[in-house]
Amino acid sequence: MESVQAIKQRFGIIGNDIKLNRAIEKAIQVAPTDISVLVTGESGVGKESIPKIIHALSHRKHGKFIAVNCGAIPEGTIDSELFGHEKGAFTGATQTRSGYFEEADGGTIFLDEVGELPLTTQVRLLRVLENGEFLKVGSSKVQQTNVRIVAATNINMFEAIKKEKFREDLYYRLSTVEITLPPLRDRKDDIHLLFRKFAADFAQKYKMPTIRLDDAAVNMLNAYRWPGNIRQLRNVAEQISVLEQNRSINSSTLGGYLPNAGSSNLPAVINKEQKESDFSSEREILYKVLFDMKSDLNDLKKLTMELMKEGNKEKVQRDNETLIKKIYGGEEITEYPEEETNALAILELDEPQSQAAESIPADTEDKYHFAEEIEEEETLSLQDKELELIKKALERNKGKRKAAAQELGISERTLYRKIKQYDL
């Protein structure tokens, strides 16, 4: 059995991280068997190396090794690609075709992005895993295949199972042994090693001096989060090698190639409970806004009563216009959508308090106490005041609705609705 170090040299794997070494050890141990392996890890961590190691160290090493990117094949043709089809099975099937499972008989199939497989294809794959049987598309003849399946995915399989996007029985058949590769951000000591290897490769490829990082740039390189993992690191090394004239790279230059290099490395935690509480929080905010508006209307009511008691008709008229404008949005409005005029009913103070309270949770009611203290001498409700104002405006304007609406600071349409409402 080859050592981990020998395998890394053979397959060009750079790094000494303990999690990476453990993943390679598991691949070496499982290779001589025929059990299925599931390789997990984020996109760009190098999952494709593990199936190659397993195939190369197995007794199938002289058989075919076929890598299939399940996410790159259209749903309508993936069954034909994997299992083959008979002539005339569908439009365009002009001849019989062998699928990957038939071609790889005696070898290994690597199913990359296996989480992207359609559910119907998952059923077919499960049958292959259980007894090595499959059917070509358009055929009723059962065929046998002897292949080893190594799959890889970058999605959370348990979440996919929960959302019914992946079959649970297929997951347990694929993951007899699960090998997880760590993300690059968890391999701090390997980041600069990898960068130097890529820089040397590109210097040789493009026939130019190798780029070097100063200490500050190395610190920035190690501190960066690398969401694209090794693939992103390789791309950055290639860009700098090609574009920079100065072969000594400082942190300022490196930062120009790292998206969001100055942002926090702390991940944003968004869990299910937080998502479910979003609607509840918005509802509580809405309640509070409505309660605050109702409190403001109470204050306006008190102010109007005081002005009416003073007997200054001109001031009363002016302040009443301001009151009406504030009730209908704080500015002169010429047109009110039906939804807005219906919503104003929520704010009318003469409605029983219990109507609003019925739809308010007890804990919200405890949180937001709003002012409901109204002086005993105040006997008129806002509705009564509104009715009185409309009557006086119509009287002063001799029943002309347009002039009365202008005086009240509301649209003629709203005034007409109020006249109909109060049966004036």
pLDDT tens-place string over residues 280-297: 556 667 766 777 777 777
Residue percentage of the chain with pLDDT more than 90: 57
Residue 107 pLDDT level (bands cut at 50, 70, 90): very high
Architecture (CATH level 2) of domain 4-182 = 3-Layer(aba) Sandwich (3.40)
pLDDT tens-place string over residues 381-416: 677 777 888 888 888 888 888 888 888 888 887 887
pLDDT tens-place string over residues 82-91: 999 999 888 8
How many Å apart are CA 210 and CA 232, to the nearest integer? Answer: 19
Average pLDDT over every residue of 225-245 = 95
pLDDT tens-place string over residues 63-96: 999 999 999 999 889 999 999 999 988 888 889 9
Average pLDDT over every residue of 158-175 = 95
Average pLDDT over every residue of 116-143 = 93
Average pLDDT over every residue of 137-142 = 91
pLDDT tens-place string over residues 311-363: 555 555 665 566 555 555 544 444 444 444 444 444 444 444 444 444 445 45
Buried b / exposed e along 321-345 (16+ C-beta atoms within 10 A): bebbbebbeeeeeeebeeeeeeeee
Q: Classify residue 85 as exposed, middle or buried by CB count within 10 Å of its CB (0-12, 13-18, 19+).
A: buried
How many Å apart are CA 333 and CA 343, to the nearest integer? Answer: 15
Mean confidence (pLDDT) of the chain: 82
CA distances for 175 relative to 68, 132, 153, angstroms: 18, 17, 11
Q: Where do you find CATH 3.40.50.300 in the chain?
A: 4-182
Average pLDDT over every residue of 169-190 = 95
How many Å apart are CA 229 and CA 235, to the nearest integer? Answer: 10
Q: Where do you find CATH 1.10.8.60 in the chain?
A: 186-255
Residue from 55, 50, 58 nearest 21 by CA: 50
What pLDDT does residue 204 have? 95
pLDDT tops 80 at residue 234: yes
Question: Looking at per-residue confidence, does 162 or 328 come out higher?
Answer: 162
pLDDT tops 80 at residue 177: yes
Question: Looking at per-residue confidence, does 162 or 276 come out higher?
Answer: 162
What's the CATH fold of domain 186-255?
A: Helicase, Ruva Protein; domain 3 (1.10.8)
How many Å apart are CA 240 and CA 257, to the nearest integer? Answer: 8
What pLDDT does residue 19 have? 95
Residue 242 pLDDT level (bands cut at 50, 70, 90): very high
Question: Looking at per-residue confidence, does 91 or 29 come out higher?
Answer: 29
CB neighbours (10 Å) of residue 67?
A: 16
Average pLDDT over every residue of 184-204 = 95
Separation of first and last alpha carbons in the chain: 99
